[in-house]
Structures are given as C-alpha cells and as structure tokens.
Structure 1
Amino acid sequence: MNIEFRKSEISDAEEIILVKANAFKEEVKMYGHGPNEKDSVEKERAFIRNIDGNNFSYILLDDGKIIGGIGGVDKGNGNFYLGCIYVALEYQSKGVGSMIMKFLDDKFPNAITWTLETPYLSYRNHHFYEKHGFVKVGQTKPRDDGFFLFLYERTR
C-alpha cells in the first residue's frame, strides 16, 4: 500500500459516495439503512465547498485511487467532531484506520476533545475507537425503528 492523504475536492464527490457505500455495506445490511451509492453527491459537494470554514474533509489514496476518507468539524476551543471515517472494505483490518487516527492527531495538534457517534451494533467500530482512546459517554434517543447511536469522546 502506498497511502497518502489529501484535502477532498469537489471533483472527488461522486467517487467518495461510492467508496462510502462500499465501506458501509455491512452496516446497511445490519440496519437496513446507511450510506449507499444513491446518497446525495450534491450534499457531499456542499460539505467539501465548506472545508475552508470549520469543516474538514480528507481522502485517502492508494496509488491515486480513493480508498477512504475523513470528515468532521472544528467546533472551536480545541473541540472537534469526527463526523465520518470510511475505509473501503478491501482495505479494512489492514491498519488504515490507525493511519487515519495518527493523521488526525498530527493534522490537528490543537485538538483537546474529539467527539463522534457510531451505530449501537457496530462492534468493530466500538473496539476501534476504544483502542484509540475514545470512551463511550452516552447514546442518542432511539428512533421509532429502534436505531440509535453511541456517543464517544476522547480528551487529551
């Protein structure tokens, strides 16, 4: 693997949606919903248009091919929200997620607190985040279909 990170560009939006759909296939099967190839490319473009504001969005490339990415928000005063980490299925369990966490720590040294949400049955996610210092601090209210998210936080 020859992994590199770069800021997302508007022209990446369609491929990002496809990679997200690939990355979250198991969650879509498990919950019956989640990122898929029909997600809004325009919403992705809108988020990327705002990355010079408080939003950040980076893609991971392996020999020029998008294989994953990260998106989030700098909420100010050292508080960051990690909205999404996604890694294509064929790259999962190969240390790419740990590369992402190191990248975030290096890119945002002023981060004091990171928060995120992850689905309640996504045990691999729970293990991954806990391995990287996150602690479960709560959960969202269940929706009518019973789906809810666990809230995680990591403070330096």
Structure 2
Amino acid sequence: MEVFIERACLEDANALITVQNVAFYDDFIAYGECPAYNESFNAMRDHIITKIVYKIIAQDQIIGDIIIRPIGEGRYYIRVISIKPEYQGKGIGKKAMQFIESEITDAKEWELITPFKSYRNHHFYEKLGFQKIDQYKHSDVLTMFVYKKSLMSKPEVL
C-alpha cells in the first residue's frame, strides 16, 4: 500500500479531527478522557497554524496525522501521532516516525507522552529508540508515561 505524508492545511482540519477520534476512541472509553480525543475545530485550526502538522494519506484518504510542537534548541514534542485502527500494524506509524526524523533535520531530541496502559504504544516507541524517562498523574484515572529519544549528533558539513 502506498502511503504519502505531507503538511496539513486548514481544509484538512475536520478530517484530522475524525481520524484522531477514531484512533483514540479506545483510550477515551478506557479512561473517560484522552487529550487528543474530540478536539474542537478551533483547536485543530490552531495546531495547523502554530505547530508542524502532517497528514498521512493512503488509498486517497487521510488515515492519520502527526502534530509536532517545537520546544527549542533542537527539541521537539510529538503531541499526536494517530493512525486509523484498520491501518495500524502495517508499518505506517514506523514510516511516519522515520519521515519526521528525516524531515526535521535540526532535531536532537524527541519527546512524547502516552497512557500508562497503552502497552502497544510502549512497545512501538521503544522499538523506535524511545526510552521511558518519567511518568505523571494526568488526572484521577489517567497516568501518562513520558518518552524521550535523543538523536546522535549529526556531523557538520564542511
């Protein structure tokens, strides 16, 4: 299956919200909340305007998204990476992570959070070189794990 990843535009906002709602539905049901579930149109619009947002396309439809916030000094926070459930387990998430690492060339460090019981996510991120560095209580029902990946310094081109 051919997969394309490109910058999202404002016209994609509703489709990105739908993708996130489908992708994070199980977390929402399990915990009664999920930061990326049921975002408003205004919130998604603001992400597209102020952050780095990519859409993941397969079979002529948006099947996933990535929302990245620059922290500064080569550090980036991956706020969302979502793939519709029927497309999960096909290597698309791995391809998306490889894409952002090659696209954002000044990145020295990536950070993200994921629910403490999302074992599939833990395995996925750890396979890609992320390490669990912390955890915190997001709410009474939800503890989040913090993951970080430090990239080796890239040689300077002379």
Q: TM-score, normalised by structure 2?
A: 0.89
Question: Which amino acid in the other structure matches residue 146 of structure 2?
Answer: L
Cα distance in 2 for partners of 1:142, 1:14 equals: 26
- Does 2:121 align with 1:125? yes
Alpha-carbon deviation of 1:147?
1.2
Instruction: Within 5 Å, give how 1:128-147 maps onto structure 2.
Output: 128-143=124-139, 145-147=140-142
Contact 2:55 2:65 in 1 (8 A): yes
Map of 2:60 onto structure 1: 64
The DSSP-based 3-state class of the residue aligned with 1:133 is coil
Task: Map residues 2-151 of structure 1 onto 2, 5 A cutoff.
Answer: 2-34=2-34, 35-36=36-37, 38-50=38-50, 55-143=51-139, 145-151=140-146
> Which secondary structure state, in structure 2, belongs to the residue aligned with residue 5 of structure 1?
strand
Task: Report if the CA contact (8 A) 2:31-2:141 is conserved.
Answer: no
Give the number of equivalent residue pairs.
Answer: 150
Large movers: runs of 4+ above 6 Å: none
What is the alpha-carbon root mean square deviation over aligned residues?
A: 1.3
Shift of 1:59: 0.3
TM-score (norm 1): 0.91
- Contiguous gaps of at least 5 residues in structure 1: none
Q: What are the ranges of 5 or more consecutive residues in structure 2 without an aligned counterpart?
A: 152-158
1:155 aligns with 2:155: no
Distance in 2, matches of 1:134 and 1:88, equals: 22
User: Retained in 1: the 8 A contact 2:53–2:67?
Assistant: yes
CA distance in 1, matches of 2:10, 2:118: 30
